[in-house]
């Protein structure tokens, strides 16, 4: 387990075995994140590609790992760009298919507090572990792992006559572990070097030994033969995402809707390619949505522009294949409300001024000016033999996708910085403009200068020229 102690006040360097304290010659302005937290609560990490993420972290007794003032700084930018005011798990709804059992783990059982597990070496083999106080019984425990992890290919383009532009990427990853009943949950936030954010909940541990039924359509047989049907169930995870794009006082929500026009193009390979029309409309008031095919939402700061003059935004990408929308608490994929301090939990809210309320209650027709997204991602756990034991981890989550935060790829290689917009007819500066010489300057000689001799010059001697002399006695031949 790697513990790295970093002072937020003093910088130091090791030079030739001596510790030298570095005193800045001029005060450096604090970022929004640095003004919000310091010491071990502050995470500020420059990744291998040169981009930087900053955030404050804390453990909430009920919601577990909470991140505040999350900011991204592209490699070539001078200052961080605030993305989120905060993000946290807001509910974990677990109904069983028999209808006999349903849990709301965040508000009933806690994800932090007594449920938080101590981070072990196996949980954080290469990263940094930080501690936090959890309760009077256990006091301070190692509670969060912070690591830079490989993420695979970041980009690849093999440009003819130019070069192969390719790079491996890395992510800054924060995660904590909670044990609720027989399940163990990993709350994970993955910050990519290109500005993307992956939000995930992993479930492992063991199936509940108390939830078996002899009803074929409500469980799966785990014992030999058709016996011991473990009850199928849902995990519906809800996150509260409070946007703070570039610290903007006004942010808007926009909906992308792509629909077929009914017309078809005739020049493609099939000769019958549907013509699609994408319209962008503003979501003016608080609402909840159950997304349809070819629909998406983004939160945008209209006053924060990139170098191309385009408004910076983040798009919310949600998988919709296993949504559980069978009660009022879970009947949406994404809901939008204005940020309010007493609207904390997606259902069975624990804040006294709005005790017991849910997202549906928070929606009261207000104009959206400071949007919060409530994101619901479901996973229908149809049990299988491989779940025993321990259960292999399964993941559910969503993506926050940067849209026009940068005018180009924030990791763009030097040789591609000239590409911005329609470059047809613009010569590639990396390719010589003078065509290479393809023909030799003189014609090659194709005939030999003299005729080769094909006949021998004389008759070969086939027999010895004389009679051999036998060796004298005692002479060795």
Q: What single-letter DSSP state applies at residue 116?
A: B
Name the helix (H) or strand (E) containing 315. strand 311-317
Kindly tell me if the per-residue pLDDT of 385 is higher than 60.
yes
How far is the C-alpha of 75 from the C-alpha of 73, rounded, in Å?
6
How far is the C-alpha of 112 from the C-alpha of 62, rounded, in Å?
5
Q: Tokens 């005790």 label which residue?
A: 355
Average predicted confidence (pLDDT) for the chain: 87
Kindly tell me if the per-residue pLDDT of 470 is higher than 60.
no
Give 436's pLDDT tier (boundaries 50, 70, 90). low
Q: Quick: pLDDT tens for 20-49.
A: 334 444 456 899 999 999 999 999 999 999
Q: List, in order, residues 6 or more apart from 334 with CB less than 8 Å away.
A: 288, 289, 291, 297, 316, 318, 373, 374, 375, 376
- Residue 87's pLDDT is what? 98
Segment 114-120 shows an average pLDDT of 96
Segment 262-277 shows an average pLDDT of 92
Kindly tell me if the per-residue pLDDT of 73 is higher than 80.
yes
- Residue 14's pLDDT is what? 30
Kindly tell me if the per-residue pLDDT of 467 is higher than 60.
no
The larger pLDDT score, comparing residue 68 to residue 25, is at 68
Segment 149-159 shows an average pLDDT of 96
- Residue 366's pLDDT is what? 94
Check if the beta carbon of residue 116 is closer than 8 Å to that of residue 143: yes
Q: List, in order, residues 6 or more apart from 182 with CB less than 8 Å away.
A: 205, 206, 207, 208, 209
- Residue 388's pLDDT is what? 93
Segment 237-248 shows an average pLDDT of 96
Q: At 271, give phi and psi (nearest 5°).
A: 70, 10
Give 320's pLDDT tier (boundaries 50, 70, 90). confident
Buried b (16+ CB within 10 A) or exposed e, 175-195: bbbbebeebbbbbbbbbbbbb
How far is the C-alpha of 183 from the C-alpha of 91, rounded, in Å?
15
- Residue 446's pLDDT is what? 58
Kindly tell me if the per-residue pLDDT of 8 is higher than 60.
no
Instruction: Kindly list the distances between the CA atom of residue 197 and the CA atoms of 155, 397, 398, in Å, as whole numbers in the listed order.
Output: 17, 11, 9
- Residue 324's pLDDT is what? 85
Tokens of 345: 């939990």
Check if the beta carbon of residue 374 is closer than 8 Å to that of residue 329: no
The larger pLDDT score, comparing residue 19 to residue 47, is at 47
How far is the C-alpha of 276 from the C-alpha of 261, rounded, in Å?
6
- Residue 445's pLDDT is what? 56
pLDDT above 90 covers a percentage of the chain that reads 74
Kindly tell me if the per-residue pLDDT of 133 is higher than 80.
yes
Give 123's pLDDT tier (boundaries 50, 70, 90). very high
How far is the C-alpha of 176 from the C-alpha of 273, rounded, in Å?
47
Segment 426-446 shows an average pLDDT of 72
Q: Quick: pLDDT tens for 332-379.
A: 999 999 999 999 999 999 999 999 999 999 999 899 999 999 999 999
- Residue 264's pLDDT is what? 94
Give 434's pLDDT tier (boundaries 50, 70, 90). confident
Give 293's pLDDT tier (boundaries 50, 70, 90). confident
How far is the C-alpha of 61 from the C-alpha of 295, rounded, in Å?
35
Highest-confidence range of 194-203, 259-268, 452-461, by mean pLDDT?
Answer: 194-203
Give 433's pLDDT tier (boundaries 50, 70, 90). confident
Kindly tell me if the per-residue pLDDT of 103 is higher than 80.
yes
Segment 424-453 shows an average pLDDT of 69
Kindly tell me if the per-residue pLDDT of 444 is higher than 80.
no
Torsion of CA 346, 351, 356, 359, to 10 degrees: -30
Kindly tell me if the per-residue pLDDT of 174 is higher than 80.
yes
């Amino acid at each position: 387990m790697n513990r790295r102690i970093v002072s937020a006040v003093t910088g130091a360097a090791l030079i030739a075995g001596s510790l030298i304290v570095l005193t800045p010659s001029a005060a450096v302005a604090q970022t929004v994140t640095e003004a919000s937290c310091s010491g071990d609560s502050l995470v500020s990490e420059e990744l291998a590609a040169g981009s930087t993420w900053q955030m404050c972290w804390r453990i909430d007794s009920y919601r577990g790992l909470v991140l505040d003032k999350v900011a991204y700084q592209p490699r070539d930018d001078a200052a961080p760009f605030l993305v989120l005011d905060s993000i946290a798990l807001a509910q974990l709804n677990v109904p069983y298919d028999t209808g006999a059992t349903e849990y709301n783990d965040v508000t009933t059982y806690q994800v932090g507090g007594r449920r938080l597990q101590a981070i072990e070496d196996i949980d954080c083999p290469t990263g940094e572990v930080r501690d936090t106080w959890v309760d009077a019984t256990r006091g301070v425990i190692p509670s969060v792992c912070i690591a830079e992890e490989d993420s695979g290919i970041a980009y690849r383009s093999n440009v003819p006559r130019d070069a192969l532009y390719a790079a491996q990427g890395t992510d800054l990853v924060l995660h904590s572990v909670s044990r609720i009943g027989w399940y163990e949950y990993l709350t994970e936030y993955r910050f990519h070097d290109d500005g993307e954010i992956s939000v995930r909940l992993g479930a492992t541990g063991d199936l509940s030994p108390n939830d078996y039924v002899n009803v074929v359509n409500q469980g799966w047989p785990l014992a030999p033969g058709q016996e011991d049907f473990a009850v199928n169930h849902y995990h519906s995870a809800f996150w509260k995402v409070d946007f703070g794009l570039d610290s903007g006082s006004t942010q808007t929500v926009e909906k992308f809707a792509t629909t077929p026009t009914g017309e078809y193009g005739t020049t493609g390979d099939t000769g019958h390619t549907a013509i699609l029309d994408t319209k962008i409309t503003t979501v003016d008031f608080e609402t909840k949505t159950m997304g349809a095919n070819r629909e998406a939402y983004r939160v945008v700061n209209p006053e924060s522009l990139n170098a191309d003059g385009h408004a910076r935004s983040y798009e919310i990408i949600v998988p919709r294949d296993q949504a559980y929308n069978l009660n009022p608490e879970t009947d949406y994929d994404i809901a939008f409300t204005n940020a309010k301090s007493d609207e904390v939990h997606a259902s069975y809210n624990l804040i006294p001024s709005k005790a017991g309320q849910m997202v549906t209650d928070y929606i009261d027709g207000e104009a959206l000016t400071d949007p919060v997204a409530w994101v619901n991602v479901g996973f229908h756990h149809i049990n299988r033999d491989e779940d025993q034991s321990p259960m292999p981890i399964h993941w559910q989550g969503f993506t926050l996708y940067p849209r026009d935060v940068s005018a180009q790829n924030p990791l763009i290689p030097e040789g591609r910085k000239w590409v911005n917009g329609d470059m047809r007819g613009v010569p590639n500066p990396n390719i010589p403009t003078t065509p290479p010489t393809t023909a030799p300057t003189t014609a090659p000689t194709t005939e030999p200068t003299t005729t080769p001799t094909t006949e021998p010059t004389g008759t070969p001697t086939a027999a010895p020229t004389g009679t051999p002399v036998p060796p004298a006695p005692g002479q060795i031949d």
